Amino acid sequence: MPGTDVQRTIDAVWRIESAKLIAALARLVRDVGLAEDLAQDALVAALEQWASAGLPDNPGAWLMAVAKRRAMDHFRRQERLDRKVAELGREFETAGTYDDGLDDAIDDDIGDDLLRLIFTACHPVLSTQARVALTLRLLGGLTTEEIARGFLVAESTVAQRIVRAKRTLAAKRVRFELPERAERAERLDSVLEVIYLIFNEGYSATRGDHWMRPALCEDALRLGRILAGLSPDEPEVHGLVALMEIQASRLRARTDETGAPVLLLDQNRALWDRLLINRGLAALQRAESLVDRRGPYTLQAAIAACHARAPSPEETDWIRIAALYAALMQAAPSPVVELNRAVALGMAFGPQTGLDLVDELMAEPTLAKYHLLPSVRGDLLVKLGRHEEAQREFRRAAELAGNERERALLADRTVAAGERASAP
Amino acid sequence: MRVMVFVKASPDSEAGVMPGEEELAAMMKYNEELVKAGVMLAGDGLHPSSKGARVHFSGDSRTVVDGPFTETKELVAGYWLWQVSSMDEAIEWLRRCPNPHGKEGIVEIRPVFEPEDFGDALTPEIHEQWQRMEAQQGS
């Protein structure tokens, strides 16, 4: 095999196997950082050997066998020929080489190992940024370079974040285990938050001149689906997956040919991905069947589903959406949710109803710099024929927007409102 | 990216030989792995071509031909739709697939067209029709 082919194949193998590999190793060595180092070592060995010897029949098991051998070497070097080595040795001997027996042994526990890995990577002792980087690295199989590209930061920054995160986990003696029942809900929230954050970073880039980075959305969706497979009885996991599937269904419709953003109601619905919508609706149904009181992700998915089901903007069930936002305000109150509810109220019961609520939100300090507040207010004012005020709102929104594309869109609307204001 | 993976027919699949319990279990396990990895979007097995039909097109005329069809290797016996990061990843997944026929067989991977590949052919009229159709599907 020529060198580049081996590299590409190994990249593919890594993408498929790395999370399982790291998870299984972390259980053996009780240290996520060390587990990743061992897995990386095995990867380097693979690169050297597969180039000449060709690909083994079971690359995952091959990597695991090499990594375990490295683990033993590591502990020997540490002169800690203790229980751990005995344990590893025993497993290694009974497993023999990288045959199917070992593979089965890994498979039995792999689900729990992966869950442990997700919960560890998203541990609340870590900063959100660290959790995101570590999760993409350990579970998504992404390189630091890919993560850096996704989040538009320097590769060294990402590398540093990961190193520091691993050090924090070790220093705080975070155990590689599933959270106790009492803690579980909170820890799961942290996991879901990280996955959704990754998705959103791809869905509407907070910075830079690109509106979306679809690869990040795909990574997040993949993580969400993995989590759903591992914890089938958690309604909010399915709720999050449903939300992401439905939102991802619109990826292609969210920009025009020039890359400028297209708002939901202006989108060409033929470009919405029906397969993802149907998957999303199925996941939503699953979430709703598991629980009486819907959680925040499930409620947001239910809202997204209302749009997905509507053949045209005019046929959208805005009354239902407004009701779902009201429920969301109960489940997870926030000024942003209230702003969205104002939009829905405006659509369901007329712009003045929406504007009344937006006006209440004008005093909300957390929204003071949020560009969508003046943007929404501008929309409602346009509908009420108050173009001059609308122009001021769009101008302010454009000033506050962090994304170049979004800023351009708002600037256009400022001009449009201005033209209408001065029209006879 | 999405890829369609076609399991080509074999003399057995065309003869309607059903997989045994062991083969079925292995395939289910594989499918489960695909699902858990977030890779599998859809997939099904197909009945032999003896239960199928073809419509031949020639200008404005249409001729219906019932199965079975002879060129076994060119027929499709099953498919998956996968979401993967690259063709390399798809190939790597496929390498892990249990041999669908137990003997000789071919499975083919093809990237799926994205709507933007159609460019201007996706007119507003087609868009409108598409919406109506989907509304009727009641999804």
Q: ipTM higher than 0.90?
A: no
Distance (Å, rounded) from C-alpha A103 to C-alpha B26? 14
3-state SS class at A59: helix
pTM: 0.82
Chain B interface residues (partner A, CB cutoff 8 A): 35-39, 41-42, 81, 83, 85-86, 88-89, 91-93, 114-116, 122, 126-127, 130-132, 134-135, 139
Q: Residue A217 in contact with residue A244, Cβ under 8 Å?
A: yes
Average pLDDT score over residue span B99-116: 83
Tokens for A317? 């069930």
3-state SS class at B102: coil
A212-252: pLDDT as tens digits: 677 888 889 999 999 998 889 999 999 999 999 999 999 88
CA distances to A12, A262, A354, B25 from B90, rounded to whole Å, are 8, 32, 48, 22
A223 CB near a chain B CB, below 8 Å? yes
Q: Per the CB < 8 Å rule, is B36 touching A226?
A: yes
3-state SS class at A315: helix
Per-residue pLDDT of chain A (424 residues; tens, 9 = 90+): 445 688 888 889 998 999 999 999 998 888 899 999 999 999 999 989 998 888 888 888 999 999 999 988 888 777 655 666 566 666 555 544 444 444 444 455 678 899 999 999 999 999 999 999 999 999 988 889 888 888 888 999 999 999 999 999 989 988 888 898 888 888 999 999 999 999 988 887 555 555 567 788 888 999 999 999 888 999 999 999 999 999 999 988 888 777 777 888 889 888 899 899 999 999 999 999 998 889 999 999 999 999 999 988 989 999 999 999 999 999 999 999 999 999 999 999 999 999 999 999 999 999 999 999 999 999 999 999 999 999 999 999 999 988 788 889 899 999 999 998 887 6
Listed residue (A285, A294, A374) closest to A327, CA to CA: A294
3-state SS class at A318: helix
Count the helix, strand and coil residues of chain B and give each as a percent rounded to the nearest 5: 40, 25, 30
The strand pair at B76-83 and B40-45 is best described as antiparallel
B2-138 folds as Alpha-Beta Plaits (3.30.70)
Listed residue (A94, A174, A86, A87) closest to A126, CA to CA: A174
Domain extents for chain B?
2-138
Distance (Å, rounded) from C-alpha A301 to C-alpha A285? 10
* Least confident span in A53-57, B32-36, B89-93, B118-122: B118-122
Distance (Å, rounded) from C-alpha A137 to C-alpha A132? 8
Distance (Å, rounded) from C-alpha A96 to C-alpha A105? 12
A189 CB near a chain B CB, below 8 Å? no
A308-363: pLDDT as tens digits: 999 889 899 999 999 999 999 999 999 999 999 999 999 999 999 999 999 999 99
Listed residue (A243, A381, A254) closest to A324, CA to CA: A243
Distance (Å, rounded) from C-alpha A237 to C-alpha A298? 9
Cβ neighbors of A66 (< 8 A, separation 6 or more) are A41, A42, A45, A46
Rg from Cα positions in chain A = 25
Listed residue (A211, A239, A214) closest to A224, CA to CA: A239
B22-31: pLDDT as tens digits: 888 999 999 9
- CA atoms within a 13 Å half-sphere pointing along the CA-CB vector of A168: 17
- State the burial class of residue A280 (Cβ atoms within 10 Å of its Cβ: 0-12, 13-18, 19+): buried
- Give A277's contacts in chain B (Cβ within 8 Å): 139
DSSP string, A73-97: HHHHHTT--SHHHHHHHHHHHHHTT
Tell me the nearest-neighbour CA distance from A144 into chain B, angstroms.
Answer: 17
Q: Residue A413 in contact with residue A261, Cβ under 8 Å?
A: no
A110 CB near a chain B CB, below 8 Å? no
Listed residue (A280, A224, A284) closest to A247, CA to CA: A280
